[in-house]
Structure 1
Amino acid sequence: MANLKIADFYYGSVLSMLFNAGLVPTLIEGSEERRIYKLTMNEGDVLLFIKYRTKPNKTKKPDYKSWLFCLTEDDKLKIEEFFKGKFFKICSCTRNGKIKQ
């Protein structure tokens, strides 16, 4: 039996949102740091580049939350490749264990 990782929870929340919208994504590439999915829509194929973070950056104001998504050189190359077609970004963040979209 496979063990679930924390990343599976966050990527799973995005998948659930897509399934609930009637979309069926196909995993193109997956790792702990990012997942890339393909969706076939009426307008053609769409690629989703997804990353997640569990904690916001520390800020000077306690009521302000800032989320930083670092892109590696490989991430940047993939995104450039995707810009040839349609491209969406989805960020999955949590605060106090609650999913924010």
Structure 2
Amino acid sequence: MDNIGKRIKHIRKINNMIQTEFAGLIGIGQGTLSEIEQGKLKPSIDTLYELSKHFQIDLNWLVMGAFECMNLKEYEYELLRKTRELDLDCQNEVAEFIEFK
């Protein structure tokens, strides 16, 4: 992933959404989303906020690809993202399992 459009497309793909559905959820048109994903248009701050809100996406990663700067591999980022979606009890279970391993 080398730009914000590719990261946004990645978010859409891992959530198994088509452009129309994804665009509607974040409050933009399908054509706008297509241009963002292709790198022809930069997303607005409102769009970034909606992405962050709906998908619990870290804005540093979304805007700058920050996890790449931290040397996280894509699967490591996905593990972190999925862990954040769990409730606190489940997060604690995951942490205990990791400690056990």
TM-score (norm 1): 0.25
Instruction: Name the structure where helix makes up a greater proportion of residues.
Output: 2
Instruction: Name the structure where strand makes up a greater proportion of residues.
Output: 1
TM-score (norm 2): 0.25
